[in-house]
Amino acid sequence: MRKLIGILLLAIIAGGIVLSLKEIPFGIPKTKIGQHFIEKGIEETGSTNIVTSVVVGYRGFDTLGEITVLFTAAIGLGAIFSTFGKRKTGIKTEPPSLIVDTGCRFLFPIILLVGAYIFFHGHITPGGGFQGGAIIASAFLLMYLGCAGKRIKGNAGKVIEVLGGVTFVGLGIIGLIIGKEFLFNFLPKGEPNTLLSAGIIPIIYIAIGLKVGSELSGIIDNLINRSQ
């Protein structure tokens, strides 16, 4: 009986979604702002990748909010795990075989390089700080799962995280100091489609990439070390 009611409710919800989505004309631009971004984006921000010009250029303040959300989540997780302390429940994991260990050691720097490439070229090719940071964190995840005994030591991750956040906010405040709005693009735009272009956008994306990468690596570090 409960299953029948569940299926009925699901059918009603699915019908509602289908009915409401049928009315929306997909693919037709309703506002003019999107067209403006596509036509003037490269000229105004200097970034060839239009997604980046929106995420860091036109909507840079929203990105600061996203970074803050991720930062708060990482802090919350760290706070919860710090109450557990470092205890051991006696789960024994067998050490990885030679092939797994060597493969992980071989792949780790390559994945790091790909992540760094993605956020360094965020204003030219698809990708950016968040994607590159997530790829860097996945390299650390691979190392934690595959290599025996390899761990992040010291506070380097936290220092990088803090420096990334400070760089982002600091560049925003420089815009205020010189008399324009927050996150004003004060550096020269340069020639589009070259590495040194788009003013402060690549600097901000590098800061975001390092921050997201070290934050997610810290989360993985907490999850693996503290929950043992």
Partner 1 sequence: MVIILTILVLLMIVSAIAVLIFKDLMNAVIASCMISLIAAILFYCLQAPDVAMAEAAIGAALITGILVIAVKRTKRFEE
Q: Footprint of partner 1 on this chain (CB under 8 A)?
A: 49, 51, 91, 93, 118, 126-128, 130-131, 134-135, 137-138, 141-142, 145, 216, 220, 223-224, 227
Nearer of residues 128 and 199 to partner 1, judged by Cβ: 128
Structure tokens, 7: 């299926």
Give least dist CB 170 to partner 1, A: 26
Nearer of residues 123 and 207 to partner 1, judged by Cβ: 123
Q: Which of 136, 198, 129, 140 is nearest to 167 (CA)?
A: 129
Nearer of residues 6 and 126 to partner 1, judged by Cβ: 126
Structure tokens, 26: 């997909």
Give least dist CB 173 to partner 1, A: 28
Separation CA 11–CA 225 (nearest Å): 44
Please enumerate in sequence order all residues whose Cβ is within 8 A of that of 90, keeping only pairs 6 or more positions apart, or say none. Answer: none
Nearer of residues 135 and 184 to partner 1, judged by Cβ: 135
Q: Please count the CA atoms within 13 angstroms of the CA of 24 that sit on its side-chain side.
A: 9
Separation CA 45–CA 58 (nearest Å): 8
Give least dist CB 138 to partner 1, A: 4
Give least dist CB 52 to partner 1, A: 8
